[in-house]
Structure 1
């Protein structure tokens, strides 16, 4: 087991021993780094770690022997990135809930390239599917990496459209890298791992929880220059990511067809916020995004007319 694997194993052990308290685990991990014991067997220093966490040494040993087998059997093709890794994506460093490690299968270099999230409902309309496909193709043609969350519906269409056209795509998942959700996308996940990259913030020992998918969306937004919500219901995961994108001062794109759909409220709630652009055609997306990045358009509250009409 190399140094980065050992460090990730130690962190996950501390997280387990602290009952999921990331602040406590991170504190103990950073102190262990100061003490220069991270690259040594954790059980040799169980008492030290226990004192740092404020638990009994048996908690550390029990957690270690539970976590260790998951790392021993991890696929050799999975790269572990820590904050000090040369391939660590620096664009996530300034945002809340920054993970201590990332697990990547595929081309780790894609994480540092300009990416755009293409996201939406798991039950899209025919128009939504067509928009997802053309959005992925337009972004890929313009040189952007297509990011999405491997979910059914819009996410799957976006990934498949990028792969079919030979464009790079990143799947940011809410499960460990050695798992797949939904199971129907297992083959798709494997294909993305070969042609693009699959990224998870969760170690192979993690038991997946529902709220992990919101952390997935936060990470996906942080890795992207912008998020495009193709189509979603009120309160859907893509809408949640839209809020994360604006919180992170990223750009948000919404289609005019969603704004015109009066069965949902979320598009009009976002429409007049800064960094939000309403577009009619997917072909306009790269041009508007490039212009926004170049001129800082969207900083401060934009005029609704300018966002909806003048840019097209």
Structure 2
């Protein structure tokens, strides 16, 4: 056989890989007459490169049309993106949570190709039968979800759990969502030194001041600041990180196209440019109140430690502390909190394993001693000396209150 001709011929597995689909999907396309094989032999079915390229062009055109066309729009051009779209469609169509759907979807993926749009005639009936849902309802929800996905930005990414792009720290936890939607610097997902600063939305001025101070000390040690972009402590940490040019990750309780609260929109947009915004919620799923405590599990999962800067008895920060302890991550709380008689959570969390800190340097030392990560000894010493220098002219009592007086509620 001519060598050049041989290079143009593909067996089924090679053809499927070339098209980025499964062999099951390829066989279905052959049956539908959408791809014509060159020849069927005892060794297998053979396809010519020209036929495969024709199919690729059809896929490209279909993708452009389905997304409204035009440059700069989000494209459903990968298996992961299509699977995420199918998954989001089912959440809406079945009216269930991601946690309930996840194991069912995994079972279904063993029986059908979930990387094919579920409105494709080759797979729609499989969804209808397996999930016991009306076909019209399913297709209607798919169309709405597809429009919502098209409003993502061209540079936004969807990362699937189990892929090489999924953050390894988060992957170790039970709270790792099936998909992450990200906007910004993806490399920050692989930062090995990350600390979350969380606390009350109705934070005191003193707590905000101490959050700024600790953000600077952590950032100066090359630690990435993680928080949830809420009012109060969260946005204070993000703003200070941005102001000083430090890495920061915002884990939000909405989808990427929403800015909540509205007053923090400018900060979120700046993080999109200079840091990373992470959401576990698809653009097709309507935001629910329980999304916000749920994202605390992801925020903790992305962090090696959580520092509770200020919190009341019902603060969402305590939800994150629970997640962090379950995930085997450090939880740090201020010693001053133990002296406040109106709140009981500090003592409870110390019994659960939280560590108590008095000075900002204690945070760095605890992290180093716990072997969560290693801080360069020379750099660490410079920072601690700087902290001590900062406090030389301060009354001793004020230094012991560096986190600030706790409040009784959010």
Aligned match of 1:48: 126
State how far apart, in whole Å, the 2-side matches of 1:227 and 1:294 are.
Answer: 12
Tell me whether 1:39 sits opposite 2:118 in the alignment. Answer: no
State how far apart, in whole Å, the 2-side matches of 1:216 and 1:87 are.
Answer: 19
Q: Map 1:79-228; keep pairs closer than 5 Å.
A: 79-113=157-191, 114-228=193-307
Deviations 1:135-170 (A, max 9, x none): 211211122110000011111111111111111000
Aligned match of 1:2: 77
- Greater gyration radius: 2
The normalised TM-score by structure 2 is 0.68
State how far apart, in whole Å, the 2-side matches of 1:2 and 1:18 are.
Answer: 25
Corresponding residue SS for 1:117: strand
State how far apart, in whole Å, the 1-side matches of 2:170 and 2:259 are.
Answer: 24
Unaligned runs of 5+ in 2: 1-75, 374-399, 401-410
Length, aligned pairs only: 295
Q: What's the CA shift for 1:75?
A: 1.1
For residue 342 of structure 2, the aligned residue among 254, 263, 275 is: 263
Aligned match of 1:20: 96
Unaligned runs of 5+ in 1: 296-308
Aligned match of 2:366: 288
Tell me whether 1:278 sits opposite 2:278 in the alignment. Answer: no
Deviations 1:98-137 (A, max 9, x none): 3110011111121221211100011112221111111211
State how far apart, in whole Å, the 2-side matches of 1:104 and 1:294 are.
Answer: 25
State how far apart, in whole Å, the 2-side matches of 1:271 and 1:244 are.
Answer: 15
For residue 252 of structure 1, the aligned residue among 287, 309, 331 is: 331
Q: Please tell me the root mean square deviation across aligned C-alpha atoms, in Å.
A: 1.9
Of 56-65 and 114-123, the range deviating more from structure 2: 56-65
Which ranges of 4 or more aligned residues in structure 1 deviate by more than 4 Å?
A: none
Pick closer, same or farther for the CA change 1:294–1:65 going to 2, 3 Å. closer
Aligned match of 2:139: 61
Contact 1:5 1:71 in 2 (8 A): no
Contact 1:106 1:196 in 2 (8 A): yes
Contact 1:25 1:53 in 2 (8 A): no
Pick closer, same or farther for the CA change 1:241–1:80 going to 2, 3 Å. same
Q: What's the CA shift for 1:23?
A: 5.5
Q: What's the CA shift for 1:77?
A: 2.3
State how far apart, in whole Å, the 2-side matches of 1:66 and 1:25 are.
Answer: 19
State how far apart, in whole Å, the 1-side matches of 2:277 and 2:245 are.
Answer: 16
Aligned match of 1:299: none
